[in-house]
Structure 1
Amino acid sequence: MSSKYDDLIRFIPAIKDDNFGKWIVDHENNGTLEHPIQFPFVNYSVCVRELEHAIYKFDENNPDMGIHNYGDILEKNGIKWETRSMEAADVSKLDDVAIVALLLAAVRAERFCDGALMSFLESGAVLRWLERLQEIAEQ
């Protein structure tokens, strides 16, 4: 039995085995005009880049869910759009819209703060969210 969430939940096994990526820190340049420092950033794994693409594509293909308004969805579910609140969210009672909103909020956070997505991955939050989405899809 397939569900509209298959393109997201298919990442569960890969995320369990992935290293997510690596921080790249510039130790070679000294910050002068001739040798400007490159700010640290995460070079994400292929798995994470594909997951990020799948989340954006899911949002694009399901406008009726309104998950582009992820901030409002999180707020309605008592979750703030910030790392601690999102990672600590009890997903056992959240519906599919709230779960996908968490995923989209995590990838959008990366746009404002390098490494934000890495934090959600390393804490196990993304895996919990995807596993909850799988439970919903199986019901």
Structure 2
Amino acid sequence: MPISTAIFWPVIAQVALIHAIYFLMLRRRYGAVRAGTAKASDFWIPAIEPEPSATVARSLINQFELPVLFFLVCTLLYVTAGVSHAVVAIAWLFVLSRFAHAYIHVTSNRLRVRQRLFVAGFVLNFVLWIIFAVHIAGF
């Protein structure tokens, strides 16, 4: 596999995470309705959603914030032939930070740990953007 297309494996992994969180949210919502702790109509207004599914819903929202910038920078690096082994490694580290962040979010939801994982992912994403900027500047 050429290194240029290797950038898409972390992208695919991030997309798989998003799908897994959707599945988990559906399971928790159906579980809440079956257990009688929620009615189907409760999900019309997320403010009254039961906590177990609300944390998953919030985690899902997180996957459409910082990861959107990740998807874009990976695509731009590919289009401009800026993919390298280092870029792919950083992309994988970003995705691993997102998996860990999502896991903490939907399990213990320990804010201090979640925050550190978010910051790690934020920094890794920023590094990818710096690499892209340096690449297109021709340095």
Instruction: Choose between structure 1 and 2: higher strand proportion.
Output: 1
Instruction: Choose between structure 1 and 2: higher helix proportion.
Output: 2
Name the TM-score, length of structure 2 as normaliser.
0.31
Name the TM-score, length of structure 1 as normaliser.
0.31
